Structure 1
Amino acid sequence: GIVQFALTSTDTMNGADDNATLVLGTNVPGGLPHMEWDDLYICDSLGSKNNDFLGDKQSALLLPNGNGTTSGLTGQDADSTDNYLNVDETDPDGDTTYNEGVTTEKDTYDYEDLPADTKSVTAIGVQLLGKKVDAGAPDLIAVVRSGTTEEDSAAVGMTTDYTVGTQQIFEDDPDAGPGDWDETSVNAMEAGAKVV
């Protein structure tokens, strides 16, 4: 990774609002716009870790490959057996396979191992995809289980259409006090979703 520019104590606001705006591409006059992004991360100065430039990093997609400790949701097949098979697609299949539940029900899943050449782990990201099927305001939270310790993310609101929630980031291994993730703890962890 290379720092292209760094700003400190510089007013970059276009007006009075302090909202962040990120421009990842632009239309080039006379040219064909083409942008590809992979492994993009953005740090701010908040928190005690991962709050500054992290250097060259790489992301690894790990898909569910088994049921975890908890199988409280019900699959489209009307049971809670092998629920991981309903959420292991790289391209979601909508209402073809899914798991559903009511408040406090959750699933955790085992995942593929990290690539063997993994040198360090900065954080775990859990991507949620869901929709509500009844009136009311059920939300989803991401759950990470390490050893016997679980950590929940903030709630992600759902609509009646499939909603991809922002990736929920877990910087610390909850079973390490908390402490840093490593290849062994990631390979043994479970992650999933809870209805709240």
Structure 2
Amino acid sequence: MKTKIKFLAVFCWAIFGFMAFKPLDKKLVLIDAGHGGDDFGASLNGLQEKTIVETIAKKIKAQNKNENLEIVLLREGDHFMELSERVSIINNLNPNLVISLHINSSPNINKNGVEAYISSNKTFYNQSKTNAEVLVDKVAGNYFSKSEVKEAPFYILKNSNCPALTLEVGYLSNVNDRNYITSEKGQDEIAAKILDAIK
């Protein structure tokens, strides 16, 4: 009897130990809300890119109910961050994907839609491009126009040691895009679509 109890105790301990120390296969996605502090980004009539992208980033994190997906916000709060500081955090965390979130602007008020940029860095090129294409397609949906994924020598894209992309979710200079990306409904939907694309 004592032997059975001892065996059960050892067996339970082994199972508990395995479960407690088994590494979780979580996907880590870092959302980099662009600009911040004195760096407003695109601005028009009191609307500022830094505020819009921070709001969307927070909604992405708040809406995430997927236990296998962890969302980390690189900038929480309205403060300036050097690009080198952002990259240092990214490379220390080593996420599965970085999404640098931005809003576009153009002198041409008819220009609109969702755009994405990736680095020409061959190490993560295919993963970055695949993620960018899926995100552009999902976020655009039936509302935004969408363009091909482009290459750009942006600092964060060039220096992140992981798949990374810049996602421009609409144009502040275009009235239809602006009305959508500054509305509660539009921001909720953009956040939900980004989550759907990276799940």
Q: TM-score range by the shorter chain?
A: 0.3 to 0.5
Calculate the TM-score normalised by the size of structure 2: 0.33
- The structure richer in helix per residue is 2
- The structure richer in strand per residue is 1
